[in-house]
Amino acid sequence: MSNQEINQGRRRFLTLATAGAGGLAAAGVAVPLVASWFPSEKAKAAGASIEIDISKIESGQMLTAEWRGKPIWVVNRTEQQLKDLASLDGNLVDPASDADQQPEYCKNETRAIKPQYWVAVGICTHLGCSPTYRPDIGPADLGADWKGGFFCPCHGSKFDIAGRVYKGVPAPSNLVIPPHKYLDDATLLVGED
């Protein structure tokens, strides 16, 4: 075997080995780069819709879930709470819910798809506190005209059982209604219309 043949073989081997190593290095850099363009599973879950089982919420009770890092309230309103809504209109800033804080299908007196169930983001529209559910009627600290609803202890904002804000409180607007729909009589999907 001559020197010329050995050198040619080595050259081919070194060329192929170098090209292969370069290709692997390029793939090693490209794969994480391309993967970073797609949202992580955690990010997908944070924006995903959630299903809530509403079958076990008793009349007058509230269930809290989490969607996109925010509390979601589902209240199973009593017949009396629904009857009292119209009597509060004179005390409210936006009784007809004209502001753009709820989907079109919730721009009604009950601010709900199904009057019995009310769904909202549980964050006060003043400074982002979380109001407390106060279904009791006429407590001493909230006044005789109180028919039940939500009270924000941070700054004194009051909302009725449909999340409509009372006049003369720091909160400027009604509680926000998220996009939602019913999959069946017992399952609520929050995050999709």
Residues 6+ apart with CB under 8 A from 52: 63, 65, 72, 74, 187, 188, 189, 190
Q: Does residue 180 have an active-site annotation?
A: no
Catalytic residue, candidates 10, 12, 114, 155: 155
HEC-encoded secondary structure of the chain: CCHHHHHHHHHHHHHHHHHHHHHHHHHHHHHHHHHCCCCCHHHHHHHCCEEEECCCCCCCCEEEEEECCEEEEEEECCHHHHHHCHHHHHHECCCCCCCCCCCHHHCCCCCCCCCCEEEEECCCCCCCCCCEEECCCCCCCCCCCCCCEEEECCCCEEEECCCCEECCCCCCCCCCCCCEEEEECCEEEECCC
Annotated catalytic residues are 155
